[in-house]
Amino acid sequence: MQEKKYPLMGILSATVTGNEKTLTMKGLCILKLRGKKEIIDTEHLSIDVPVKKNAGKISFHSRYGKHVGKGFRLNRFVLTFDIEEALNYDIQNKIELVYKGKYKGRILYRTTDLKKGKNRRSQVFIREGSIIYFRQSSKNSLYLTTREANIYDYPEGEERIEKAYRKAKKSRKNLIMMYEKNCSRYQESASILYEKLIDAGYDNVYYVVNSDNKEIRNLEEKYKKNLIAKDSDEHLELFFASNTFISTETTDHALQLRSTNKKVIEKQNHKDLKYIFLQHGVMYMVSLNSDKRVGFREKKHKFQRTVVSSEAEARHFIELAGMPREKLYITGLAKFDTSYQHEDADKIIIMPTWRRWEMNRAKEDLQGTGYYKMIKKMYDAVPENLKEKVIILPHPLMADEFAGEEAFGKHLVLGESYDKILRSCDLLITDYSSVSYDVFHRGANIIFYWAEKDECMEKYGEGTYLMLNNENVFGDICMDEEEIRKAIQANYKQKQPQKYVDRYNKIVEFRDGHNTDRIIDCLIKDGIIEEKDIGNKDTE
């Protein structure tokens, strides 16, 4: 079998500078063409990122460099990106080294780190409310990160983090911090589990959420007393003082997303941090071998557990994420214990998942994104006599970009509780969002629009695929607007087909209302909490 031909570049040393227009990395490197005994010609090297060809410019001091052994050539390089263009790329962009326009390789952030990254990054540059910098991936590849700046990217935020870090050293250590997406939600599995733990008298459990969240206004006082306001000094101190995170999201969501602060990153990845991942939705969807899903794989924490809904989903984590079976809680998601459908549910909800590669573009040109065009296609497919039943729910990570959007009128709903809206859902139209598991659990039918599925899977990285297929999907598959229209007519106000119920039950095994009880039993068994009389019902 012939070895694959590709260019490899390892950075030995480099400096990064930025001005109003460009971000530049200069330094010393070694180069090699793997898979073929050929001296690499630097005049034929170019730079791509997954969303754009010739995204950056790279040049070298010498065309062929100086031979240093084992086929490597020593050279000096200059790598430059146009900042205005880069701010429209994906949030995380793997920098691809391309030889002769077709052989794709990678750049090692630091040659001596080999295949293991150590969370290194370059200097951070803030431009017009956005942040841009080079970083090292978990496998030591060079990435370009572009995202909105947050309060901790500025000097004042850095000072608050430092103060909280010092203060937390003196705080009580046996603390459990709970949160949901970006510490801004109170409607998924973490909030369900939190309330049950508070009911049982666990006073070392705290929940972080933004103080203006509508869901917490009418909470009983016993739940409010352990709520911590997002981005408050108490939040920062709790973040550093807690020895356990329990969440529906990764540890990145415990503060502001994609922090560049070294103390924050160290805390999120510390081996002594105990981390229980509750899942925000059943993850038997996009395959976990994807480069964009590394956050859900086994981490360096000595104690890590992931909640799954079935043996099928457990195998997904074991086989594609490398997660040992003993680190899985096969219990079902806590949020399914309280989810239900109104008897008079009659809404047609349009809710596809987010497209991370379009996040930055959406800020500048929402209607030009594939995400927007897909939603419009779904909406246009709804028969006129059912248009009044339509609710459009953009994914939470895309919702802010729809503020002020007028094309969908009253059908576009923003800032409301997704859980409450889904109670009125009779039919969901989506692409491959995990919300499909939620609404099917409640009793609604699903329509999957898959015309763009393969293209989207490519954006997740080589080898990524959808776990659902023609044999196990629990809804009708549509490839164009006309097929969506026919599927709506066939599925609206209809009973769930038995074949779809049977398929669904193989992926989501638990429907008895005791998922939270099973999770608590697991936490007690593993010593995360002490056993108390919490009034659990018999789940045997």
Integer Cα distance of 328 and 519 in angstroms: 11
| Statement to judge: residues 245 and 301 lie in one domain | yes
| Statement to judge: residues 213 and 267 lie in one domain | yes
**E strands within 248-380?**
274-277, 303-308, 328-330, 347-350
pLDDT at 382: 98
Integer Cα distance of 281 and 416 in angstroms: 18
| Statement to judge: residues 160 and 290 lie in one domain | yes
CB 437 within 8 A of CB 401: no
Whether 537 is in a domain gets the answer no
| Statement to judge: residues 404 and 492 lie in one domain | yes
Residue whose C-alpha is closest to residue 136's, from 323, 46, 321, 262: 262
| Statement to judge: residues 485 and 357 lie in one domain | yes
Whether 370 is in a domain gets the answer yes
Cβ neighbours of 118 (radius 10 Å): 11
What single-letter amino acid sits at 390? V
pLDDT at 138: 84
User: Which residues, in sequence order, are CB contacts of 306 under 8 Å at separation 6+?
Assistant: 276, 277, 279, 296, 317, 323, 327, 328, 329
Integer Cα distance of 91 and 144 in angstroms: 8
CB 503 within 8 A of CB 397: no
Whether 1 is in a domain gets the answer no
| Statement to judge: residues 27 and 89 lie in one domain | yes
pTM over 0.85: yes
Whether 209 is in a domain gets the answer yes
| Statement to judge: residues 19 and 102 lie in one domain | yes
Whether 342 is in a domain gets the answer no
What single-letter amino acid sits at 213? N
Which of residues 133, 149, 165 is at a domain's end? Answer: 149
| Statement to judge: residues 161 and 143 lie in one domain | no
Residue whose C-alpha is closest to residue 150's, from 29, 32, 69, 258: 258
| Statement to judge: residues 59 and 104 lie in one domain | yes
Whether 494 is in a domain gets the answer yes
CATH number at residue 250: 3.40.50.11820
Which of residues 87, 114, 149 is at a domain's end? Answer: 149
Task: Tell me the three state secondary structure of residue 514.
Answer: coil
Integer Cα distance of 434 and 409 in angstroms: 26
The full DSSP string for 411-462 is GB--SS-HHHHHTTEEEEEESS-THHHHHHHHT-EEEEE-TTHHHHHHHT-T
Which of residues 124, 149, 174 is at a domain's end? Answer: 149
Q: In what order do the strands lie in the sheet with 425-430?
A: 390-392, 347-350, 425-430, 445-449, 476-478
| Statement to judge: residues 129 and 186 lie in one domain | no
pLDDT tens for the 540 residues of the chain, in order = 345 789 999 999 999 999 999 999 999 999 999 988 889 999 999 999 988 999 999 999 999 999 999 999 999 999 999 999 999 898 999 999 999 999 999 999 999 998 888 889 999 999 888 999 999 998 899 999 999 999 999 999 999 999 999 999 988 778 999 999 999 999 999 999 999 999 999 999 999 999 999 999 999 999 999 999 999 999 999 999 999 999 999 999 999 988 999 999 999 999 999 999 999 999 999 999 887 777 787 787 889 999 999 999 999 999 999 999 999 999 999 999 999 999 999 999 999 999 988 988 888 889 999 999 999 999 999 999 999 999 999 998 888 899 888 889 899 999 888 999 999 999 999 999 999 999 999 999 999 999 999 999 998 888 899 999 999 999 999 999 999 999 999 999 999 999 999 999 999 999 999 999 999 999 999 999 998 865 554 444
| Statement to judge: residues 432 and 332 lie in one domain | no
CATH number at residue 463: 3.40.50.12580
Whether 538 is in a domain gets the answer no
Structural domain boundaries, residue 244: 153-337+514-525
The neighbouring-strand residues paired with 247 are 179, 277
| Statement to judge: residues 247 and 267 lie in one domain | yes
Integer Cα distance of 406 and 395 in angstroms: 17
The phi and psi torsions of 533 (rounded to 5 degrees) equal -80, 95
Using the CB atoms, write b or e for 506-533: b if 16+ within 10 Å: ebbbbeeebbbbbbbbbbeeeebbeeee
Residue whose C-alpha is closest to residue 109's, from 14, 33, 6, 42: 14
Ramachandran sector of residue 476 (left: φ over 0; alpha: ψ -120 to 50; beta: rest) = beta
Cβ neighbours of 353 (radius 10 Å): 20
Whether 281 is in a domain gets the answer yes
The full DSSP string for 220-238 is -HHHHTTEEETTSHHHHHH
- H runs (alpha helix) in 321-431: 359-365, 370-381, 418-422
Into how many domains does the chain fold? 3
Integer Cα distance of 79 and 143 in angstroms: 12
